[in-house]
Amino acid sequence: MMIIHQLTAKMQAPRVFCRTQRTLAGLFRHSSDMADFREVFSKAKRVAIITGAGVSAESGLPTFRGAGGIWRKWKTQDLATPEAFSRNPSSVWEFYHHWREMTLAAKPNTAHRAIAECEARLSKQGRSVVVITQTIDGLHHSAGSRHILEIHGNLFKTRCLSCGDVEVNRKSPICAALEGKGSPDTDAIDAQIPVNALPRCKEHDCNGLLRPDVIWFGETLDSHVLTKVEKELDSCDLCLVVGTSAVVYPAAMFAPQVASRGVPVAEFNTGVTPNTTRFMYHFQGPCGTTLPIALARHESEVI
């Protein structure tokens, strides 16, 4: 949920030059040889896994972008903005309440679990796994992943507009006035909840209006999170791109940056993208099927 030019500005990105990418694309003939990937995986010490909405699709969660991204008569792009929130905080909270309730009912799938199990196993061997995700549903946490960088925030965190306090909040409903509200039906009536009855800050004497702690359209990413992402991308020796197209943000920026260092990148996606040839490996199919095979214990792992 971010505009590429802002990311570019933020990351001072032109570390990845088109010329470099083209040159390397010529060197990499992407392979779908799982045994070959598994050999590379068995030697990796620092694995970075970039995940997108596709990793949550198999848990039954819509992406709220593209064709499925309509709530009542609005697109996500109409609701997930600071302007929409200041104009109509009640409707924006209804939308997020609906999204939160659906997500609370969802379970991590085999892809989430394969990633979490891999992290736990490799950590005992002195190897690391980091998840860099654009999902905001927290399902990587639920699956047991520990080292997670959420570049778009989290549906279950709130931020106070008055004091800036950020809190984890998994309450259902998040406030009494939202109970039973948030139906996505086109003929649903806006609840028009008074602003004082929307989620409010519990910090002492604050009572400020809370918003979801997610990155909205038109907002820049958290620079602290981006700095950590940069560090991980610079130091990983294997990168997986899971359930996100390599032509759109963030994989369009992050994974080619890794590939430009000559580090193996493996893409796990339901389709082929124009950038697939840029990466060393591509495994087509549902990531809930491909990832458990890719990240299973290798015969060389002794612990």
Residues catalogued as catalytic:
152
The number of CA neighbours under 13 Å toward the Cβ of 61 is: 26
Choices 85-93, 200-208, 217-225, 242-250 (CB under 5 A): range interacting with Zn ion: 200-208
Q: For Zn ion, which residue of 3, 9, 120, 163 counts as binding (CB under 5 A)? A: 163
Residue with tokens 């009494």: 176
What secondary structure does DSSP assign to 212-260, as a single string?
EEEPPTTPPPPHHHHHHHHHHHHH-SEEEEESS-TTSTTHHHHHHHHHT
Tokens of 58: 């198999």
CB 41 within 8 A of CB 229: no
Question: CB of 197: closest distance to Zn ion in angstroms?
Answer: 16
Residue 73 or 204 having the CB closest to Zn ion: 204
Instruction: Point out which span in 14-22, 145-153, 204-212, 265-273 binds Zn ion (CB under 5 A).
Output: 204-212
CB nearer to Zn ion: pick between 201 and 287: 201
109 assigned binding-site residue? no
Nearest to 190 by CA among 92, 54, 290: 92
Rg of the chain on CA atoms, in Å = 20
Residue of 116, 160, 191, 255 interacting with Zn ion (CB under 5 A): 160
| Nearest residue (CB) to Zn ion, 201 versus 241 | 201
Residue 206 within binding range of Zn ion, rule CB under 5 A: yes
Which 164-193 positions form the footprint of Zn ion (CB under 5 A)?
A: 165
138 has binding-site annotation: no
Asked if 158 and 203 count as a contact pair (C-beta separation under 8 A), the reply is no
Give the residues lining the site for Zn ion (CB under 5 A): 160, 162-163, 165, 201, 203, 206, 208
Q: Which residues are known binding-site members for Zn(2+)?
A: 160, 163, 201, 206
